[in-house]
Structure 1
Amino acid sequence: MQARHNKVAILQSNYIPWRGYFDLIHDVDLFIFYDDVQYTHSDWRNRNKLMTKDGPRWLSIPAGHNLKSLICEVEIPDQRWKQQHRSIIEQNYRSAPFIKKSRPLLDFLYENSITNLSDYNQRAIRHLSDILGIQTQFTDSRLLGINGRKTERLIGILEKVGATTYISGPSARDYIDESLFDEAGIKLEYKEYPAYPTYLQCFSPFAPFVTILDLILNVGSDSPRYIWEWRKQI
């Protein structure tokens, strides 16, 4: 019998995402990577921001401009970007309180031979979720064998995993057919990202929309307090 998951989210994998991405993962019982969809260049799939003395800076994986590929088909044969990214992170976070303790994390992220963008992102997100103490289960839409377009396919995936509630990113309001969720008897909720608490970054002024690495390198094991635990105190 198919396992039943109450709350489910379905989202494309991103490169070392911001803390809101992990807040969404924490909200659900099952998180489904949705990487068998169109790759979009210069998006969160292959880049994110980190803090520098000049403010937030893009850190981009050289994934090319082939917009005919699915995310899961994107390959990066030139692996030099990994050491470049690690060097940039270590340089800009050399004064961060937890940079030394985070070396095993940086080893995990940048000392590997993975060339597929989706494989890289998913592996990193699962590992970062473990570090944050997230108990959510993960799977990949490719493993579920559901075809279709847009909302119809989402409904098919949700029915396959026995979802009762779908938590969607807020931008999906523009294209989701909400009536199909009513017909399927699946509750639809939109994730509203709050004004997360600030913390001491290596540089000022404070920038909230940066990679989760910024939070981990600056506050270490206290990271969950700045993502979801602070809400318990309200």
Structure 2
Amino acid sequence: MKAAIIQSNYLPWKGYFDIIHDVDVFVFLEDVQYTKQDWRNRNRIKTPHGPKWIIVPVTGGIHQKIFDVKIDYSSNWIEKQKRQIEHSYCKAHYYENYKKELLDIFIKNFDSLSELNIFAIKKISKILGIETKFSKSTDLNVDGTKDDKLIGICQKIGANSYMSGPAAKNYIKIDKFSNANIELEFKDYSGYPEYPQLWNGFEHSVSIIDLIFNCGDKAPNYIWGWRNGKQ
């Protein structure tokens, strides 16, 4: 069984969902330290003026676990962000088809950033036809840090294969996974084809909502289907 263990991000890019699609179990790593200026509470969309950030305001400092981070609802960021998304994508080919389903993530006030992110990721995974099983590290109660924690989670859920993002090649201890009889695989993000996208130029590193609004039910072809000749 293959697993991936990654922090929840806000409306992640297509590569995040490529990993989810490729594994049997995807574990949200939420009992680790929250990092600011990262993808946990923000992402980018393509606007008429180029890529712009969409941000979820949060409370508290950096010395929090991800699952402890609360959303700051004191400002009208939800309405502002919905207008920003509508202005950027109202002319997209599939905007009307998916706007209600995607913008529904803003209907409920979530207690924590994790809850919002996980809700949105599961909803988008369903739109993309992904059938991967989801779990949370907070439900598994595995101690340890860094590689030891990842290995412990794999062992707890019975995974003998672990998929990581390519950046982890710089710090992950390959021998630890080998000694634990866990096969280690690094996702390759190269080769993604361009798709019909609004505004000038093309941007790969934007939220998945860009791909869905522009390509609709053909979106999976530009994430994983292209490897099998589907586009």
Tell me the TM-score normalized by structure 1. 0.94
- Stretch moving more, 61-70 or 160-169: 61-70
For residues 19-98 of structure 1, the aligned pairs below 5 Å read: 19-64=14-59, 66-78=61-73, 80-98=76-94
1:220 aligns with 2:216: yes
> For residues 55 and 65 of structure 1, what CA distance do their matches in structure 2 show?
31
State the Cα deviation string for residues 16-73 of structure 1 (Å, max 9, x = none): 0000000000010000000111111111000000011111111111124611011111
Say whether residues 1:115 and 2:119 are aligned partners. no
Gaps of 5+ in 1: 1-5
Task: Identify unmatched segments of 5+ residues in structure 2.
Answer: none
Whole-angstrom distance in 2 between the partners of 1:224 and 1:209:
16
- Deviation of residue 14 (structure 1)? 0.4
- Give the paired residue count: 229
Letter in 2 for 1:88: Q
Query: Deviation of residue 179 (structure 1)?
Result: 1.3
Query: Runs of at least 4 residues of structure 1 off by over 4 A?
Result: none
User: d(CA) in 2 for partners of 1:187 and 1:103?
Assistant: 40
Matches within 5 A, 1:1-234: 6-64=1-59, 66-78=61-73, 80-233=76-229
Identity %, equivalent residues: 44
CA distance in 1, matches of 2:60, 2:197: 33
CA offset at residue 77 of structure 1? 3.4
Cα gap change, 1:147/1:194 in structure 2, threshold over 3 Å: closer, same or farther?
same
- SS of residue paired to 1:153: helix
Q: Which segment drifts farther, 130-139 or 176-185?
A: 176-185
Aligned residue for 2:77, secondary structure, equals helix
- Partner Cα separation in structure 2 for residue 91 and residue 144 of structure 1: 41
Contact 1:9 1:31 in 2 (8 A): yes
TM-score relative to the length of structure 2: 0.95
Taking the aligned partners of 1:164 and 1:108, their CA distance within structure 2 comes to: 37
Task: State whether residues 60 and 69 of structure 2, in contact with CA within 8 Å, keep that contact through their aligned partners in structure 1.
Answer: no
Aligned residue for 1:56, secondary structure, equals strand
CA distance in 1: counterparts of 2:188 and 2:221, whole angstroms: 18
Cα distance change on mapping 1:204 and 1:65 into 2, 3 Å:
farther
Report the alpha carbon displacement of residue 173 of structure 1 after superposing the two structures with TM. Answer: 1.8
Whichever residue aligns with residue 203 of structure 2, its letter is A
Distance 2:152 2:138 in 1: 13
